[in-house]
Amino acid sequence: MGNGLEKLEKLPRVILAHTPTPIEHLPNLSVKIGGAALYVKRDDCTGLALGGNKARQLEYYVGDALSQDADTILITGAVQSNFVRAAAAAARYGLTCHIQLEERVKSADALYRNSGNVLLNQLLGATIHSYPDGEDESGADLRLHEIADVLRAQGCRPYVIPLAPGHPPLGALGYVVAAQEIVSQLTAMDQAVSEIVVASGSGLTHAGLLFGLRMLGSSIRVLGICVRRDSGTQALRIRARCREISELLEVQSRVTDADINLRDDFLAPGYGQLNSPTREAIKLGARHEALLLDPVYTGKAFAGCLQRAQELDSQDTLLFVHTGGTPGIFAYGAQLLEGQ
């Protein structure tokens, strides 16, 4: 097996993200929280349709779609899924986009269903489909393929971006590349980092980042904050994702079970549902660093990051990966301001 970089460079890819995104110090919160110094990797600044980690993930999916002469992209996710960036990527390359929205948040109100990413879907001209089950990834993928079959019969050339594990994790490759970017930036800054903290949901960002760091020989610890499932279940998913990346890049994985670190302290009451620590973390980020975090992913992950900072001392440094999700803020307006 090679070192993985040769295969990575040969895979089809388009450039969607504005990179490198900056790494910034968070001096005010570092003082207020105490413990480890806090830095943030600003992947909310990747540019494509309000930024976020999906821009990096979609570069390899869209590249693969274009290499197959596809004219239509299909993707599935929650009602406020940030994979709406697929519609923006499609618009950029003259493709049609079909987005399937899954019912993951049962108590969703009208604001949740009409603003934020849903509004972007409509502005970007995507065709919207609904899927009634929010915890059936395989079923949601199957439904996408059924829609693709209908489109194919109409003369379209559809390309399905899968959600469930068991498929080549092209989206994770965006964060294998991001790992190289982070290591290069930290070297240029002469800044050591004790740990990197990131939201862990589909597993593509978390696994790609961890795999990329270990592939480069970096031993920086990665802590995933669970936003969709408990830590035990998520650990199995990250392990599987890393195995899939290894197979895709034809390189031996250097990720061990000890490298897969997860916490689910801020998951309850479930995916896409706010809790008090997350609401407080969002307010702290906004009011002390003008850092805007979303309720589904980055708010919960930042709550975990602040918790971890307090467990460490001033000799340590934490790097928080801000994966975006900014449009989702507007879908949770009333809940975010609750109690004010």
State how far the Cα of 73 lies from the Cα of 237, in Å rounded to an integer: 25
Structure tokens at 308: 């971890």
Give me the amino acid identity at 86.
A
Question: In the numeric block, which tokens belong to residue 239?
Answer: 């392990």
- Give residue for tokens 């790609």: 208
**Which helix H or strand E contains 39, and what residues bound it?**
strand 37-42
Residue 151 and residue 127: Cα distance in Å, rounded? 12
Phi then psi for residue 5, to 5 deg, are -70, -35
| Strand spans (E) along 59-163 | 72-78, 96-102, 127-131, 158-161
Q: Which residues are known catalytic residues? A: 81
Residue 9 neighbours by CB under 8 Å, 6+ apart: none
Amino acid at 128: I
- Quickly list DSSP for 153-183: HTT--EEEE--SSSS--HHHHHHHHHHHHHH
Rounded (10°) angle between helices 298-311 and 276-289: 80
Q: How far apart are CA 23 and CA 182, in angstroms?
A: 8
By C-alpha distance, which of 275, 253, 251 is closest to 265?
A: 275
